[in-house]
């Protein structure tokens, strides 16, 4: 049986896609560092194998300079090797990400393959599986988002839409823009996490420069910290403060709500005081 190729199979979305495919009894080939590394083009030949579909995530981020060209090159290698359907994880309102989407569509058309894009809002799981997990567990999140409202999306929805595209259950050759069902500030999201945990957890607005200092303090190189802060400043400047209906378009149901996510994560042990140590 032809495999399904996952680039970034150990990442936040990739491991969910792997789990869903395997739960259906479908074969999976997962590629992560060091076998495949976006920073090392010498590893890109690892994608050159026939596959029914591929799911592509870019690290550190699709919005960074050079990422669209890298996606086009990897997609070219996959399509030339017989991958018939390529699904790309993308971000909302990011010019470089949207350019990568267009390049993917061009490569797929050239090789008579199909494509799909899951273009996502800010992930809910960034609060418990990423940058914000430890400060929230410690009882205090300091971030630079201000009063902007974001339609946080659940990664379980993202993975389900990606798998629907990979298996042909959702219409291909199009973009699905994925958000949650409501707009929230980061302070409101923090308050819902506090309610789910039964703990006092506060939110503090800080400047971009203070965010860079905080990121360097936890171990990020200064250049990477500045790049991440710049990306947050762009993505969270208000231009994404609107809802989309991609989850319903792909799956025929409503997107999961933040309160439900917070309750599930809290029951699973997120944001405990022990997790802050």
Q: How many domains does the chain have?
A: 2
pTM given for the model: 0.95
145 with 70, same domain: the answer is no
- Measured in degrees and rounded to the nearest 5, phi and psi for residue 7 equal -95, 115
Asked if 145 and 261 sit in the same domain, the reply is yes
Phi, psi (deg, nearest 5) at residue 177 = -95, 120
pLDDT of residue 256: 98
Q: For residues 41 and 33, give the distance between their C-alpha atoms in angstroms, rounded to a whole number.
A: 12
Domain range for 144: 124-152+180-239+257-277
pLDDT of residue 1: 58
Q: Are residues 98 and 195 in the same domain?
A: no
Element (H, E) at 54: strand 53-56
Determine the pLDDT at residue 238: 92
The ranges of the chain with pLDDT < 50 are none
- 16 and 115 inside one domain: yes
One domain, residues 134 and 115: no
pLDDT for the residue 201? 97
Of the candidates 69, 102, 120, which is a domain's last residue? 120
In a domain, 66, yes or no: yes
């Amino acid at each position: 049986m032809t495999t399904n190729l996952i680039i970034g199979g150990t990442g936040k979305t990739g491991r969910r896609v792997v789990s869903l495919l395997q739960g259906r009894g479908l074969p999976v080939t997962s590629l992560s560092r060091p076998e495949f590394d976006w920073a090392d083009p010498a590893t890109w030949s690892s994608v050159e194998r026939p596959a029914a579909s591929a799911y592509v995530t870019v690290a550190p981020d699709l919005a960074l300079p050079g990422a669209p060209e890298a996606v086009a090159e990897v997609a070219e290698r996959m399509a030339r090797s017989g991958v018939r359907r390529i699904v790309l994880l993308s971000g909302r309102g990011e010019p470089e990400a949207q350019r990568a989407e267009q390049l993917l569509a061009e490569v797929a058309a050239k090789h008579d393959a199909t494509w799909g894009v899951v273009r996502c809002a800010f992930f809910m799981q960034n609060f418990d599986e990423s940058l914000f997990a430890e400060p929230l567990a410690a009882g205090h999140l300091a971030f630079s988002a201000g009063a902007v409202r974001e339609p946080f999306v659940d990664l379980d929805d993202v993975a389900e839409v990606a798998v629907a595209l990979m298996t042909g259950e959702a219409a291909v050759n199009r973009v699905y823009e994925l958000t949650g069902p409501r707009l929230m500030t980061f302070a409101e999201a923090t308050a819902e996490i506090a309610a789910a945990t039964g703990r006092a957890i506060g939110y503090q607005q800080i400047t971009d420069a203070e965010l860079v200092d905080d990121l360097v303090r936890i171990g990020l190189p200064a250049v990477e910290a500045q790049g991440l802060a710049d990306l947050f400043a762009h993505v969270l400047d208000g231009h994404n403060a609107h809802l989309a209906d991609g989850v319903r378009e792909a799956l025929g149901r409503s997107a999961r709500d933040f309160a439900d996510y917070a309750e599930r994560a809290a029951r699973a042990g997120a944001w405990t005081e022990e997790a802050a140590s």
